[in-house]
Amino acid sequence: MNKILIIEDEKPIAELLKYGLEKEGFRAFVALTGKDGLNLMEKEHPDVILLDLMLPDVDGLSICKTVTMNKNIPIIIVSARNDQVDKLIGLEYGADDYITKPFDIREVILRIKSILRRIQKTMDAEVTAEVLTVGSLVMDIQKHEVTKDGEIIELTPKEFLLLETLMRKNGKVLTRAELLEKVWEFEYLGDTRTVDIHIQRLRKKLKDDKLIVTVFGVGYKIQS
């Protein structure tokens, strides 16, 4: 469930936003001052912040600056100040969007959803664009490709996943049981020889006996 922090000193507006967001399935938190807002942000780690600019204790713009410099939390400014300069400064300070009061709650929800969608897209792209390396061994997760000294190594899906699991641990030992669980899920649980056979095949394909190390009585690790 996505969390939204509302920093807004006008209680009726804050309550309206909270009600509308919760009806839409968000978890909403209200802070009536800038200071409370920053405290709640530390405590709840919201996904998006709705920020009023005119607050009793601090200027919303300074909150905007503080948040965007230190955190990776998108901000939507919700302000009565329908001022082109404020809007520009807000966006310059790192706010993602700017909504003018009076607002339509449906519009606020649409903007939040659009930001969340964009974040999800970026996160997906980061995951798939990942490249793992150990020495001259390179694994490109997105391309599903492994190279060693620049040469492509053809691996079966299980071999690929086994190698990926070892590479993600980067030098730390994995027991045979852990590898079985991670690579084969539970289909072969109990038969740790499956792991040994695949490790032997990997070593052969990588033309390297030293890269994947047998830790006697424990399991395997990979190191350059």
89 lies in the site for Ca ion, by CB under 5 A:
no
C-alpha dihedral (11, 30, 55, 60), degrees to nearest 10: -150
Range 96-155, binding Ca ion (CB under 5 A) = none
Rounded CA-CA distance 164/152 in Å is: 15
In degrees and rounded to multiples of 5, residue 166 shows phi and psi of -65, -45
213 lies in the site for Ca ion, by CB under 5 A:
no
CB of 79 to Ca ion, least distance (A): 8
By C-beta, is 28 or 174 nearer to Ca ion?
Answer: 28
52 lies in the site for Ca ion, by CB under 5 A:
yes
Rounded CA-CA distance 204/201 in Å is: 5
Strand 75-79 with 97-100, pairing: parallel
CB of 53 to Ca ion, least distance (A): 7
Q: How many residues bind Ca ion, per CB under 5 A?
A: 3
Find the part of the chain contacting Ca ion (CB under 5 A) among 7-15, 70-78, 173-181, 198-206: 7-15
In degrees and rounded to multiples of 5, residue 99 shows phi and psi of -120, 135
86 lies in the site for Ca ion, by CB under 5 A:
no
Q: Give the interface with Ca ion as residue ranges (CB under 5 A).
A: 9, 52, 54
